[in-house]
Structure 1
Amino acid sequence: MHLSLLSDLNAERAARRAAVLVTDVASGEQRLVREAEVDGDPMAGELQDALRRGKSGLIEREGRQFFLTVQAPPVRVVVIGAVHISQALAPMAKGLDLDVTIIDPRTAFATPERFPDVALLAEWPDAALPDIGVDRYTAIVALTHDPKIDDPALIAALRSECFYIGALGSRKTHERRVQRLTEAGFAQADLARIHAPIGLDIGAVSPAEIAVSILAEIVANLRKERRRLA
């Protein structure tokens, strides 16, 4: 690989943008296709498929073979609230190769003892999220049940391209949440992005069961386009 291609690939990785390195197997020629360039590429269909699947592989096109090396950012789950559900969710998410960050300004809850080996920020979401960056490879999970903490995170999520937004609470709680966010200027189509009550309906009761339902819903949304291709 030419150093210029490697440098460009590293720049895309640092910026959490996906890219595909296309290698002509016969000639060895290589080119980098950035995610924003995929739709206009002559191999758009194949590149889109590779990005959706998140897997590198060999393809054949017009009698020629190409190897597509897919580089996609690691999927990140940002959890608002250092609560019991978060304690159960964090290790499960790691088992799914998801990067987890916990945000909670309440220092009595956001402690390393309660969340060992987890990225933990004892800050307000509206202060922490801009530094983290919320992109299309990010899921936002609001669990504090406190509008002062959850709402700023939901506002940041709704203004982003994150692929999943979920919020804990009953339907009545969500109705009040919707009213607040509507008053903040969000349209019904925006608010429909929020999964609430959060998680798949599996009859979950315990914090661990609720964590399972949340992660199942996140994975279902993450893989939605892949299921459409099947």
Structure 2
Amino acid sequence: MRLDLLAALNAERAARRPVILVTELESGEERLVTADQVAGDPRAAALAAALASGTSGMVGEGAARAFLTVHVPPPRLLVAGAVHISQALAPMARMVGFDVTLMDPRTAFATQDRFPGVPILADWPDVVLPAYRLDAFTGLVALTHDPKLDDPAIAGALEAGCFYIGALGSRRTHAKRVERLAAQGFSERQIASIAAPIGLDIGASSPEEIAVAILAQVIAAWRRPDRDGAAA
């Protein structure tokens, strides 16, 4: 690969942006195509399908064959709230391939003893989120019931276009949350994308069961074929 292409590829990967290396087999020509360039590319349909599946492979026939090397950021899950549900959710989410991080300024709860092996960001969203950099390949699970922690995290996730946003709370609690988010200028469509009450409706009652319901909903959102970005 040419050094300029390698440098550009590494830059896109470091920024957690999806990119495809297209290698034309007949000529050996290589080019990088970013997600916002797909629509204008001669191989637009094939590139869009490759991004949606996150799978590298051959496209075209005969002299028009090309190999698409797809680079998609690994999925992340940011969990707001060091609660019992989080303790069950974090290891399960890691087991199925999500890079899990916990955010909670309450250091009495957000400890390595309670969350072994999970990176902990023990501060408020206004401090955490600029460095963490939410994106379309990140899901947010808000579990604290505290608007001072949940609301800024949800707002940041809406602005970043996270593939999943879920918030714990009753319908009454969420109705108040909706009012606050609308007052901040978020549209009805954006607010409607929040999964609340959080998790699939499987009749879950214990923290462990609720964690299963949440993770199932996160996976469904990640694997949805029509979502923005690309699946793993």
Shared fold (TM-score, shorter chain, > 0.5): yes
- Residue 26 of structure 1: how far off its partner (Å): 3.3
CA distance in 2, matches of 1:199, 1:181: 20
Q: Which residue number in structure 2 is paired with residue 190 of structure 1? A: 190
Q: How far apart are residue 24 of structure 1 and its match?
A: 1.8
| 1:130-155: CA deviation from partner (whole Å, max 9, x where unpaired) | 11111111111100111111111111
Name 2:128's counterpart in structure 1.
128
Q: Which amino acid aligns with 1:133?
A: R
Counterpart CA distance in 2 for 1:62 and 1:190 is 45
- Cα distance in structure 2, aligned partners of 1:81 and 1:101: 10
Show the counterpart of 1:76.
76
Which residue type is aligned with residue 39 of structure 1? A
Q: How does 1:70-219 map to 2 (within 5 A)?
A: 70-219=70-219
TM-score (norm 2): 0.93
What is the identity percentage for the equivalent residue pairs of Structure 1 and Structure 2?
59
Moved beyond 4 Å, runs of 4+: none
Identify unmatched segments of 5+ residues in structure 2.
Answer: 228-232
Amino acid at match of 1:6: L
Number of residue pairs matched? Answer: 227
Q: What is the CA–CA distance in structure 2 between the aligned matches of 1:82 and 1:18, rounded to whole Å?
A: 31
Contact 2:25-2:63 at 8 Å conserved across structures? no
What residue is the counterpart of 1:36 in the other structure? 36
TM-score normalised to structure 1 length: 0.94
Alpha-carbon offset, residue 158 of structure 1: 1.8
Calculate the aligned-residue CA RMSD, in Å.
Answer: 1.5
Judge conservation of contact 1:87–1:115 (CA < 8 Å) in 2. Answer: yes
* 8 Å contact from structure 1 (residues 78, 103) kept in 2: yes
Q: CA deviation at 1:226?
A: 6.1
Q: Does structure 2 conserve the Cα–Cα contact (< 8 Å) formed by 1:74 and 1:137? A: yes
1:85-127 CA-partner distances (Å, limit 9, x unpaired): 1111111111111111100010001111111111111000121
Residue of structure 2 in register with 1:222 after alignment: 222
1:77 maps to a residue whose letter is L
Cα distance between partner residues in 1 of 2:28 and 2:166? 45
Q: Please say if residues 136 and 162 of structure 1, whose CA atoms lie closer than 8 Å, have aligned partners that are also in contact.
A: yes
Deviation at 1:44?
0.7
User: Quick one: which amino acid aligns to residue 162 of structure 1?
Assistant: C
Q: Is 1:6 the equivalent of 2:6?
A: yes
Contact preservation (8 Å) 1:53, 1:226:
no
Instruction: Return 5+ residue gaps in structure 1 as ranges.
Output: none
In structure 2, distance between residues paired with 1:25 and 1:168: 51
